[in-house]
Structure 1
Amino acid sequence: MVNISIKGLSVSLGRREVVRRIDANLKPGELVGVIGPNGAGKSTLVRAILGLLPLREGAVHIDGEALTSLAPRDIARRIAYLPQGQTLHWPLTVERLVALGRLPHLGPMSKISAQDQAIVQEAMERADVTHLAGRVATELSGGERARAMLARALAVGAGALVADEPLASLDPGHQIDVMELLLGEARNGKLVVAVLHDLTMAARYCDRLLLVDKGELVAEGAPREVLTAERLRTVYGIRSQFDMTGPAPFVVPLERIREGGD
């Protein structure tokens, strides 16, 4: 399984420093939620961890090996990635789209094997897209497309999964299904990192939260430690009703705190 160590990670986009001096250790067997307001640097952080953005400072190690020493193909075998958004440019069927998840394991000019095909079928079942196998992915609804892309990430069979806003476009039932699936992956020993906006889902399913604001890690820990009234006020600028003590914790935003207000 995969362990990711982050030390002093800073990333700049153009002249703007988007992520500043973040330290974290992401361990196998846990579901880690990355939360924070829009523009906080969450997606930039996870893309940097995957080697998709250059680091301005700091280092990332995967199982003790420096990220910079690993080939992109090697990273792709170890960490499956579900990017934000589901833009598709080719009219592939869902089954062929999901099969793309096996590419990191195939050699040049290799064909998908019976074992690969079995992994693809299992991934489609787990993401609830088996009935869409013959449909053209570009013609799916946003929610169907989101689940197909999740199936592609599952088909990689990596020891870690990084999912950037995996609940976007999903109805409430499928949101629950996806969070249960991600938690199941973690309970089976994988490292799962999910960028989330739904604080109730983050509180209910995540083992640990990283709260990012203005590019900095402002809090880290169990959901009940991170999601406090004061942090929701200062980071998100909201008043909320919440209960972090029961078996089904929840966070309900009530109103935006306007400048000059209480």
Structure 2
Amino acid sequence: MVMLAMRDLGVRLGPRDVVRGIDAALEAGRLVGILGPNGAGKSTLVRALLGLIPATGEVLLEGRPLAGFARAEIARRISYLPQGQVLHWPLTVERLVALGRLPHLAPFSRIGAADRAAISRAMALAEIEPLADRTATELSGGERARVLLARALAVEAPVLVADEPLASLDPAHQIQGMEILRDQADAGRLVVAVLHDLSLAARFCDRLLVLRDGRLVADGAPRDVMTPALLADVYGVSGYFGGGEEGVVVPLARLPLTADPNRL
């Protein structure tokens, strides 16, 4: 089932077309990685996909134009983890994760048993139960990243969109984060994640969308997309490819602008 679809999606910020003519249909039960160098338009694409910024073209959610949904409906159907969030209020971790249940609550209503169960599930998935009573503003960057992922998981929406969810995480927690996203997709959700780690993207994702200068330049299974030519053309680097099914991709060196894209 197609959960999200983009038709000729574009975003213009000031004089510049940041995202141009993106077409893609994203299906439930898939983990889709969005890749590309800095400034490629990844985060802008995600925000346009969620209807958070003006865009041209069309986004469809469950076959219906996103513009026809109320924001509360979108919040129940799509859980969003933005990048680089700053915490301003000294909430406990458990209360912060509980904010993920707000889309399901009527005005002035209290959290119920189903909400508490969802909060517990999210905290267990992110392995942050020991942090439950800590003040969120006092956490390390990595701890905060895991707590904010738990808040997004607590929504239990059919679509999860995460913008750089691995930022600030150590290697073990990066792998854990990808395992969580993989499990969410395997449970039937559509998971869309902006990623920079090429090996983790190749290993865990079903599909990769690669952007360069706001355009979609590659779309497909990791083994088809992640090639020496793509690394050279999109990132300007050579790389080591190995690991068989594990999909190890290690950038090795910057290439001169005139480099042969097929050179390893």
TM-score by length of 1: 0.97
Q: Offset of 1:260 from its aligned partner?
A: 4.9
- Aligned residue for 2:170? 171
3-state SS in 2 of match to 1:247: helix
Q: Structure 1 unaligned segments of length 5 or more: list them.
A: none
Alignment of 1:84-163 (within 5 A): 84-163=83-162
- Equivalent residues, number: 260
Residues 98-131 of structure 1: per-residue CA shift (max 9 Å, x gap): 0000000111111111221111011001011110
Q: Which moved more, 1:206-215 or 1:83-92?
A: 83-92
- Would the alpha carbon gap of residues 173 and 165 (structure 1) be closer, same or farther in structure 2, given more than 3 Å must change? same
Matched residues, percent identical? Answer: 62
- Aligned residue for 2:36? 36
The amino acid of 2:145's aligned partner reads A
3-state SS in 1 of match to 2:245: coil
- Aligned residue for 2:251? 253
State whether structure 2 residue 221 is matched by structure 1 residue 231: no
Distance 1:13 1:93 in 2: 37
Q: Offset of 1:261 from its aligned partner?
A: 5.2
Q: Offset of 1:2 from its aligned partner?
A: 6.5
- Contact (CA 8 Å) 1:2, 1:78: kept in 2 or not? no
Segments of 4+ moved more than 6 angstroms: none
- Contact (CA 8 Å) 1:77, 1:105: kept in 2 or not? yes
Q: Offset of 1:22 from its aligned partner?
A: 0.3
Q: Offset of 1:159 from its aligned partner?
A: 0.3
Residues 46-103 of structure 1: per-residue CA shift (max 9 Å, x gap): 1111111111x21000011111111111101001001111311111110000000000
State whether structure 2 residue 45 is matched by structure 1 residue 45: yes
Residues 13-49 of structure 1: per-residue CA shift (max 9 Å, x gap): 1221100000000000000000000000000001111
- Contact (CA 8 Å) 2:2, 2:25: kept in 1 or not? no
Distance 2:245 2:206 in 1: 14
Residues 188-216 of structure 1: per-residue CA shift (max 9 Å, x gap): 10000000000000000000000000000
- Contact (CA 8 Å) 2:242, 2:248: kept in 1 or not? yes
Distance 1:66 1:261 in 2: 44
The amino acid of 2:189's aligned partner reads K
- Aligned residue for 2:182? 183
3-state SS in 2 of match to 1:218: strand
TM-score by length of 2: 0.96
- Aligned residue for 2:22? 22
Distance 1:80 1:159 in 2: 8
Distance 1:68 1:53 in 2: 12
Alignment of 1:67-86 (within 5 A): 67-86=66-85
Distance 1:70 1:48 in 2: 14
